[in-house]
Amino acid sequence: MKTQRKRIVITGVGICSAIGQNKQDFTKGLFDCKSVIGSSDEFNRFFENCYAAQIKESIEYPELDAELVSQFDKVTLWGYKVGLEALQDAKLADSSRLQSMSAMMGVSGAATEPLMPVITGEAVPMDMLANTGNYGATAAIITNLLGLGGGYDVVATACTASINALGLGFDAIQNSKTDQVLIVGSEPLYLPTFSGFKVLDAMADGPCSPFSAEPGMSIGEGAGALVLESYESAKERGVLIYAEILGYATSCDAYHETSPEPLGEGATLVMSRALNNADLCAEKIEYINAHGTGTSANDRAETAAINKVFSQKQVPVSSTKSFFGHNISAAGVMEMIACLVTLPEKKILPTLNFSTPRKYVDLNIVANDFLDQDVNVFMKNNYAFGGNNCSVIGSMKVASQPVSSYDKKQVVITGVGQISALGIGFEAFKQGLADSVDTSSEVHCQIQKCDNKAPLHWLIQSDNVLSAMRSHLPINDAGELKFQVHSVAAFNARKILRGVDTRKLHPISLYTMAALETTLHSAGLKIGKQNKDEFGMVLGLSKGPQTAIDNFMSSMNPEPSNARTSEFPKALYNSVSSGCATIKGMRGYNTTLATGHNASLGALIQGYEVVRQNIQPCMFAGGSDEQALGFSLVMHAAINEASVNYQADITSFKPYDESSAGYVMAEGAALVMFEAKHRAQQRGAHIYAQVSGYGRASASDRFNNNGQTRSQALASAIGAALKEAELESNQLDMICGTSVGFKDADIDELNGVKMGLGEVVRNIPYSNFNSYFGFSESASGCLNLLGVIVAMEDGVIYPVKNSQHCLLDGFDLVTQTTREKTVNNALLVGMNEAGNCYAIVVSKS
């Protein structure tokens, strides 16, 4: 049965760029055909002949206290500025609707600015490090400052991040989780990004000239924001509508970590799928705003792809990067805004600096001056390292195209896999819960530097970082820190990953691949040439590929020109998911969410949504973490983190118990495979469980005493999940939490569950499996889902390990002994360190 999609429109924009710091100046700069790519004094200190499009004027934040401004990085401040402007433009800035409004943010340079002083020999700003040193912190701060309470996700797919975020917002509105979503892309230009592209020899020797002249790119910086809204809501409010979003798609080349597939196969697939999702034929597209970086590899592949998809029509094509450079994660949303402010004037943006087209370019390039043409339906494309592709189709004339539809699917789990301290695979996981043995080990870390070298982590070269660690961590007189961790035991990677050169994989990629292989095995499937487009992946990350990040960042010190070219692409968060796709040949939907603790729950939600809307038949979703002790300890010291357990007694990790000493750090990866129920039944697959509904909400009280608390946010998420699942709270047979044994966090979760379910909570068994395998920051949410599946399959709920009594009354906490129970419906809940909350209803199929 076909389900008609909602019409989704854009009702607000915010922009900050080298051309102009607001919509008016930005629009004027575009119509003046003004290229702001110029010689960069900042980067000419380290390299020769550097060009970039940089914001040189100071930016004011009159709404923020000066002390707050000093504690935030530019990623956060610029994102806040454009987000506020977009809300004001949409007449939502002071609206009660903000409490249910979601945010999807695309970033790439997050958690970078506070680290830069180590490279330049200056003091690390510890307040800034504490506030923005974690990748997902930007979204938490921006949503709190703006008062948004509908939950958020952070898309980390490099150059497609912000336009991919738009797709996630589109999906959230389609499932009636919210009427409005704020989309933000923010990308200041930092030295590591510039160095990475420079040492790869990707830069132009002057302002870039996409599709013509000498190949090469020019990097820019800036931020952009859009308000997405259901058409019905926009009509009801009577606000200006810029355009309608007709559909989108994302895919992966599955080819190489930096180079696009040379024949443009991945770009062809993503454009074709965007057209299919929008129920449009290629002939409907009247203009393509291309990715158009100016590099030979991109422009050749993009030319080939456009010619394949639009073989019957010479569609006008242009690249906006010739105006303000390549803005990496913010590129998509900024280029979309460029379309929104020029197309209403019946003019198509040109490609500036265009001379003679390269010999392989036979496109209808709009060159140097605006083309007079009344455009309705247009396409916006962006591509990224790792082969991540995204295509969005918009219409300037709302409701001029038939609304698209999809076959709504029931979504089941047909594959489960993991690697953790409990072992590898689902059976090892089940046995580990049953045996309940101690899988921890003691580590000894030297918190010191010798001859200006810091063996544990390069950031400890900074005296104030070292001082903070000595002040806030239980380091002994010898400069040593001893504590317990749950680590993945050594294993024969080549036995599991046959045909893969595992020597080239950093731990986080190795763990993700191991989880993927065990998930595929349990699903009874293989990926080959005939079905490679059927599989996609959404991966949640917290601290990401820290080994690669550390290798790359330390290689820049003291000489940025020595940056390791091999580590730059691996240091990008999306390298893990896209790397797995490349190894397995998966070309379907692919994205990375870097939202922090329990990011795998956000990945599960989006993986479910993709299959539910029949965008992709099979999706792997989950999370992965490597043991990044160096950076983790630095951040624990910066924040003065009280939730981490440094005690020698491993049994002191006891979630929800009054005497718990916090969590024990861990690593690992967990994935499930989502599939449409009818498809699973047709192939006779084993169905582990069915996802029936989800909810997402976020705390908004950090800077506003009247904002939503963490407990209130979790209650809201639970309500949304039960509503979609069409269940009453008394129909739940189990609750699975993911809290970390820190009293404040435990109380927030317990109170949120009680608010969401009411007094019936005292009759529902409540468990949490983190103390079996340790707290793996992003993956623990998915690992706990596996614990729920064990309960459904075996009819037993394993207790909260080490816990004796619940610190709050009114809960049926499962402690000390296994509980026999038939579990038909379970509620999985969790939140990240900043109060972004998730709730997922899982049922027996």
3-state secondary structure of 311: coil
Q: Alpha-carbon distance 838 to 845, whole Å? A: 22
CB neighbourhood size of 63 (10 A): 12
Q: Which of 775, 823, 814 is nearest to 795 (CA)?
A: 823
| Residues composing the chain | 845
Amino acid at 498: R
Pairing of strands 364-365, 316-318: parallel
Element (H, E) at 779: none
Q: Alpha-carbon distance 58 to 66, whole Å? A: 14
Annotated catalytic residue within 291, 486, 597, 636? 291
| Crossing angle of the two packed helices 331-342 and 161-174, in degrees rounded to 10 | 70
Annotated catalytic residue within 159, 339, 618, 782? 159
Please say whether the beta carbons of 436 and 445 come within 8 A.
Answer: no
Please say whether the beta carbons of 395 and 401 come within 8 A.
Answer: yes
- Where helices occur in 147-251 by DSSP H, the ranges are 161-174, 191-199, 231-237
Residue 291 appears among annotated catalytic residues? yes
Pairing of strands 689-698, 411-420: antiparallel
Residue with tokens 């300890």: 633
3-state secondary structure of 571: helix
Q: Which of 27, 699, 581 is nearest to 343 (CA)?
A: 27
Element (H, E) at 142: helix 137-146
Q: Which of 803, 743, 801 is nearest to 774 (CA)?
A: 801
Q: Alpha-carbon distance 649 to 514, whole Å? A: 30
Residue 256 appears among annotated catalytic residues? no
Q: Alpha-carbon distance 431 to 425, whole Å? A: 10
Q: Alpha-carbon distance 547 to 537, whole Å? A: 22
Q: Alpha-carbon distance 787 to 772, whole Å? A: 10
Residue 686 appears among annotated catalytic residues? no
Instruction: Give the dihedral of Cα atoms 602, 607, 608, 610; nearest 10 deg.
Output: 130
Which 8-state DSSP code applies to residue 555?
H
Cα Rg, the chain, nearest whole Å: 25
3-state secondary structure 668-699: EEEEEEEEEHHHHHHCCCCCCEEEEEEEEEEC
Tokens of 705: 């005493």
Pairing of strands 316-318, 287-289: parallel
Instruction: Give the dihedral of Cα atoms 746, 752, 758, 760; nearest 10 deg.
Output: -40
Q: Alpha-carbon distance 690 to 692, whole Å? A: 6
* Residue 717 burial by Cβ neighbours in a 10 Å radius (0-12, 13-18, 19+): buried
Phi, psi of 195 (to 5 degrees): -60, -40
Sign of the CA dihedral running 257, 259, 263, 266: positive
CA distances from 304 to 259, 265, 321, 636 (A): 15, 8, 19, 49
Q: Alpha-carbon distance 224 to 383, whole Å? A: 18
Sign of the CA dihedral running 453, 459, 463, 468: negative
Annotated catalytic residue within 208, 326, 580, 806? 326
3-state secondary structure of 369: coil
Q: Alpha-carbon distance 199 to 502, whole Å? A: 25
Tokens of 377: 């339906």
* Residue 370 burial by Cβ neighbours in a 10 Å radius (0-12, 13-18, 19+): middle
Active site residue ranges: 159, 291, 326
